[in-house]
Each structure stands twice: as structure tokens, then as C-alpha cells.
Amino acid sequence: MQRISFALEKGKQTQQHHALNTQELVANVDALICRVRDTLAQTAGTEEK
């Protein structure tokens, strides 16, 4: 019974770890998109002058 409980707990920890990795990845992609958008806006503004 202890082995089953340990395995279930380990599975929950793994799922939580994957969820945190996914959230971190989404946040990093969002930040990257914002930086690219800002850079493109600056470049477009520079080309018009």
C-alpha cells in the first residue's frame, strides 16, 4: 500500500512540475513576442524618417 501511495504522490509531483514548466514557457514566449513587436515597431518608425 505504501508503494502505491508513493507512486501516486510521485506522479502528482511530476504533473505539477510539468505544469510549472509549461507556465514558464508560455511566459517566456509571451515576453519574446512583446520584444519582437517592440523591435518591429521601432524599426518601422525609423524607416519612415
Q: Whole-model pTM?
A: 0.61
Determine the pLDDT at residue 47. 74
Domain count for the chain = 1
- At 10 the three-state DSSP class reads helix
- Whole-number CA gyration radius for the chain: 21
Determine the pLDDT at residue 14. 84
1 within some domain: yes
Q: How far apart are CA 46 and CA 30, in angstroms?
A: 24
Q: How many residues does the chain have?
A: 49
13 within some domain: yes
19 within some domain: yes
Q: How far apart are CA 47 and CA 49, in angstroms?
A: 6
Domain that holds residue 22: 1-35
Furthest CA-CA distance within the chain: 73
CA atoms within 13 A of residue 47's CA, in its CB half-sphere: 6
pLDDT tens figures, 2-49? 888 878 888 888 888 888 899 999 999 999 999 999 999 999 988 765
18 within some domain: yes
48 within some domain: no
